């Protein structure tokens, strides 16, 4: 039977570590502040923003909520970002995605000061990751590295295969595995014979966005399998990109959905907020 990688427990550990560090900073008179901007009232976004606020409260980070109406213009949003960029008392700025269609997401994300970009989406931070310089790293892939390390999975020298090449998961994931000295292959929708490639993986990360697509046919015996996907099945139950029932008996360790990668994203956001203080100094 595969070892279950417990993302809930590891995320709780990281949040507790952040809480201790924030308490230490408070004792030195330093307050950590995150500004969270939501435009419109998309219900899923409202849930995500609420979870981020709750995590801030737990860790001791001050959160400033900007709940803007759906009709907010791009220039109004850019003005707010410019104001927050200039505020010394704001360490992190997060714009909840997706933004309404009339606002250019890329323009907005690029407008955030890279030193306050706690989501790690700014081109400057992506570039820093690429060449191994300090900067913010996208939270989900950063969380996966923590899951592996804290579960005792060695990355150096391992065959690592990432399925998916999105800017927020697949690409930064590949760069982080490379930084940890893995031998990394990135696969995508145009990959020929996907199973032949994924079956070479000692560590397989599925960020494909297709429910239960990764069955036992894609997995080498003894592999470590990380499932990034989040979907609701026909019974409204959560499932991932990996067909857990068929893959679990074959692999050495696996993340469940829910309770695997999901909780790590907010924990790493908290970690990025704490790190922002040092980065800004």
For ligand NAD, the binding residues (CB under 6 A) are: 140, 163-166, 168-170, 187-189, 191, 194, 207-210, 228-230, 241, 261-262, 265
Active site residue 119: yes
Please report the DSSP string for 117-154 in residue order.
-TT--SHHHHHHHHHT-S----HHHHHHHHHHHHTT--
Rounded to an integer, what distance in angstroms lies between the CA atom of residue 236 and that of residue 252?
Answer: 28
- Angle at alpha carbon of residue 142, lines to 244 and 33, rounded to 5°: 125
Catalytic residue among 117, 119, 202, 241: 119
| Rounded Cα–Cα distance for residues 1 and 186 (Å) | 28
Which lies closer to ligand NAD via its Cβ, residue 85 or residue 166?
Answer: 166
d(CA 47, CA 52) in angstroms, rounded, equals 9
Q: Nearer to ligand NAD by C-beta: 84 or 206? A: 206
Distance of CA 227 to the CA centre of its chain: 13
Nearer to ligand NAD (CB atom), residue 100 or residue 259: 259
**88 vs 190 by CB, closer to ligand NAD:** 190
**CB crowding 33-49: b at 16 or more within 10 Å, else e:** bbbbbbbbebeebeebb
User: How far apart are CB 191 and ligand NAD at their closest, in Å?
Assistant: 6
Of 48, 52, 11, the residue nearest 261 (C-alpha): 11
| CA–CA gap between residue 245 and residue 251 (Å, rounded) | 11
Q: Output 90 or 161, the one with its CB closest to ligand NAD.
A: 161
For residue 96, indicate whether it is catalytic: yes
117 is an active site residue: no
CA 108, CA 95: separation in Å to the nearest integer?
A: 8
Which residue is nearest to ligand NAD, using beta carbons?
Answer: 166
CB 166, min distance to ligand NAD, A: 3
> Both ends of the chain: CA-CA distance in Å?
47
CB nearer ligand NAD, residue 52 or residue 158: 52
* Catalytic member of 15, 96, 202, 241: 96
CA 161 distance to own-chain centroid: 18
**How far, in Å, CA of 75 to CA of 92, rounded?**
20
Residues annotated as catalytic are 52, 96, 119
């Amino acid at each position: 039977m595969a070892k279950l990688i417990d993302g809930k427990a590891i995320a709780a550990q990281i949040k507790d570590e952040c809480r201790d560090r924030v308490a230490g900073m408070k004792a030195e008179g330093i307050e950590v502040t995150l500004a969270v901007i939501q435009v419109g009232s998309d219900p899923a976004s409202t849930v995500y923003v609420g979870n981020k606020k709750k995590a801030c409260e737990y860790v001791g980070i001050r959160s400033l909520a900007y709940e803007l109406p759906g009709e907010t213009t791009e220039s109004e949003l850019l003005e707010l970002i410019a104001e927050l960029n200039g505020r010394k008392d704001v360490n992190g700025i997060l714009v909840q995605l997706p933004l309404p269609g009339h606002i250019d997401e890329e323009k907005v994300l690029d407008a955030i000061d890279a030193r306050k970009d706690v989501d790690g989406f700014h081109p400057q931070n992506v570039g820093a990751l690429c060449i191994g310089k300090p900067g913010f790293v996208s939270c989900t892939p950063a969380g996966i590295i923590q899951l592996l390390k804290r579960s005792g999975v060695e990355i150096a020298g391992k065959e690592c295969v990432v399925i998916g090449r999105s800017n927020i998961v697949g690409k930064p994931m590949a760069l982080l595995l490379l930084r940890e000295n893995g031998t990394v292959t990135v696969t995508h929708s145009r990959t020929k014979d996907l199973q032949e490639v994924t079956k070479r993986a000692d560590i397989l990360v599925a960020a494909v966005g297709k429910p239960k697509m990764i069955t036992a046919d894609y997995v080498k015996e003894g592999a470590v399998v990380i499932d990034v996907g989040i979907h609701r099945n026909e019974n409204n139950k959560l499932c991932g990109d990996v067909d857990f029932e068929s893959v679990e008996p074959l692999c050495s360790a696996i993340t469940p959905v829910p309770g695997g990668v999901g909780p790590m994203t907010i924990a790493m956001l908290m970690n990025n907020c704490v790190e922002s203080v040092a980065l800004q100094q």
